[in-house]
Structure 1
Amino acid sequence: MRVTPIALVCVLAACTTADHAPADTVAAAIPDTAAAAASQFITAHGFGPLALGMTTADAGKVTNGALTVPSPSAPDQCEYAKWETAPNGVMVMFVGGVLKRVDVMQPGTPTVEGLEVGQTAARADSLYGAKATRQPHKYEAGEYLIVKPLAPQDSLQRLVVELTGGKVARFRIGLFPEVEWVEGCA
């Protein structure tokens, strides 16, 4: 098989262009959902692009349509969103079409201070104990560590950490009173 000079130039040009593409351009073209999820933390104001108090329409926009919530049939209807790209164990609650809380049920999504599901109760105490009140757990041998307010200007915000068996079983950030609802939307 004979290769013409024009064919050779075309092949070399294609290889050279691909070989010298900026690394950030190539990386940007490949979605890395694990890295994106790992870089997101639960904060006093929400999770990732989701902010407490935002509407379902705004939440859908900031997640590029990945998060959907049925339209409320009543002003106080409670619904957990369907969010296909959420990290495992992260659930988002809307009441009356407004984001009221974010629940974290599995390890992998920490608070900005570094608390994660599965860590010890001592770790939770070291991070929040001085700012928290304690209440007995409603259903298990354990307790709730309730941190309020997380931000001084936001007196309705709370972090509720559920401690059972000496470990962080789950936690949630949200607005009072919904953040303290033990059964979620039930």
Structure 2
Amino acid sequence: MPQLNSLRKFLTFFIGTIVIVSTWAISASGQAQLTEGSKLALDGIGPIGVGMTVDEASRSAGVRLVNRGGGRDEYFCSYFDLQTGPKGISFMVTKGRIARVDNFSNKRITTIKGAKIGDTEEQIISLYPGQIQVTRHPYSSRPPYNGKYLTFVPKDAADKNYRIIFETSKNRVERFRSGKIPEVEAIEGCS
């Protein structure tokens, strides 16, 4: 009888361990997916962080990043898009590492604070009180660029080299990006 009790305890422990490890593996892989529910932060989006290589980002997000082409080398400057997954998101890669994340058109992707394409300038300013610098869009004298740059400047010293920049037109956010300085400030990306 003591052997039967020991066997029951062992089987209970063994099955419990399998359940816990399986649950952990499923939830970990669920977190790694880059989806439209992923949030844009100062230093990346969802599981993809500024500073990762393209291969690291692809593994982390569970989706392949593909070079847009155009003859640029990722060690100089190039853009990568997601092979599958949320559309409108691109990654600037310099010196072999992700330097910034651009949201060109995805209205479902938000920042951690909830800012998104279509928000008014006032909404952005209210989400980041005292931390938004407002400047004229560099091309504001040329149609259709009649807007502004709303730049989130973090207060935390650890984040001093990062920004989120919202580009607006007619008082509404048209696109936004985040990443490290100086890449995040480049008006035309890799151009």
Normalising by the smaller structure, the TM-score range is 0.7 to 0.9
Matched, 1:152 2:157: yes
Q: CA RMSD in A?
A: 2.6
How has the CA–CA distance of structure 1 residues 74 and 67 changed in structure 2, closer, same or farther, with 3 Å as cutoff? closer
Match in the other structure for 2:38: 40
How has the CA–CA distance of structure 1 residues 73 and 90 changed in structure 2, closer, same or farther, with 3 Å as cutoff? closer
Deviation sequence 1:141-172 (CA, Å, 0-9, x none): 11111112364312111011112101011110
Over alpha carbons, which structure has the higher Rg? 1
Secondary structure at 1:138's aligned position in 2?
coil
- Give distance in 2, aligned partners of 1:45 and 1:147: 13
Identify unmatched segments of 5+ residues in structure 2.
1-22, 140-144
User: Is contact 1:150–1:158 with CA below 8 Å preserved after alignment?
Assistant: no
- Give distance in 2, aligned partners of 1:120 and 1:149: 20
Match in the other structure for 1:180: 185
User: Is contact 1:80–1:92 with CA below 8 Å preserved after alignment?
Assistant: yes
Match in the other structure for 1:103: 102
Equivalent pairs counted in the alignment come to 154
The aligned runs of 1:111-122 (5 Å cut-off) are: 111-122=111-122
Q: Which runs of 4+ in 1 moved over 6 A?
A: none
> How high is the sequence identity, in percent, across the aligned residues?
31
Secondary structure at 2:188's aligned position in 1?
coil
User: Is contact 2:152–2:163 with CA below 8 Å preserved after alignment?
Assistant: yes
Quote how far apart the aligned CAs of 1:74 are.
7.4
Q: Which moved more, 1:116-125 or 1:147-156?
A: 147-156
The aligned runs of 1:131-170 (5 Å cut-off) are: 131-139=131-139, 140-149=145-154, 151-170=156-175
Q: Give the alignment's TM-score, normalised by structure 2.
A: 0.71
The aligned runs of 1:54-133 (5 Å cut-off) are: 54-64=52-62, 66-69=64-67, 73=73, 75=75, 77-106=76-105, 107-133=107-133
- Give distance in 2, aligned partners of 1:146 and 1:137: 11
Identify unmatched segments of 5+ residues in structure 1.
1-24
- Give distance in 2, aligned partners of 1:128 and 1:51: 22
Q: Give the alignment's TM-score, normalised by structure 1.
A: 0.73
